[in-house]
Amino acid sequence: MTNITVKTDLRGMFGQARDQGQRTTCLAFAASDSHAASRGVWEPLSCEFLFYHAQRRANRKPSQGAMLVSMLEALRHDGQPHESRWPYLTDVPADLTQWVPPAGVAPLFRRAGEETSGAMDKIIAELTQGRPVIVLMRLSWSFDWVNPTASWTRARRAAGPQSAHAVIAVGHGDVKGQRAVLIRNSWGGGWELEVTAG
């Protein structure tokens, strides 16, 4: 990590980062973990349950990424149980009739969220109030190859093919005079990155 002057650090609200593997579930992980952190005592919530209900609401396949609007609806109306009630699956069953929540899953925890613009000022304001922020990003290949200081400068126009990705903003500060946000990813424990405004 570079020498960041930390102003807000919410990493203590979270447990170890989980790994989504090869599935397109980054938004479910970001929503689940920010929801779990907001409950006050860390206990992971079921990404599988949340992703299942978001995909049903949007009439999307489990091989497709989730949409923010359906994820927010699933959080608000369907909720999610603890992770132990329906653990994350490495792979979805080939027979999709088998991809269903276990019967009688409870308790369910719900949360109301809202969509807003991703302006850096708004993200920092939320973090300062002690609220982690789900951030949807368009990434180029350079995100996979961050420099040895674990920092990545957000380009105004990314070169190369881009893909959508969801992470959680968990802190902010300054790096060499530029505002920076610390993000939590769903690519396994120990993955942290400072994203500076470019």
Place 7 in a pLDDT band, splitting at 50, 70 and 90: very high
Place 197 in a pLDDT band, splitting at 50, 70 and 90: low
If we measure between CA atoms, which residue out of 93, 89, 74, 92 comes closest to residue 32?
74
Residue 164 DSSP SS3: strand
Average pLDDT across the chain, whole number: 85
pLDDT value for 147 = 46
pLDDT value for 152 = 44
- Taking 50 as the threshold, does the pLDDT of residue 179 lie above it? yes
- Are 189 and 174 contacting, i.e. CB atoms less than 8 angstroms apart? no
pLDDT value for 6 = 85
Cis amide leading into 87 (omega within 30): no
Look at the chain and report how many structural domains it folds into: 1
* Assigned token pair, 90: 């490495």
Percent of the chain with pLDDT over 70: 81
The domain in which residue 137 lies consists of 5-197
Between 168 and 116, where is the model more confident?
168
For 21-77, the pLDDT digits (tens) are: 999 999 999 999 999 999 998 999 999 999 999 999 999 999 999 999 999 999 999
pLDDT value for 190 = 57
Domain holding 182: CATH number? 3.90.70.10
Q: Which residue type is seen at 87?
A: P
For 134-160, the pLDDT digits (tens) are: 999 877 655 554 444 444 444 444 444
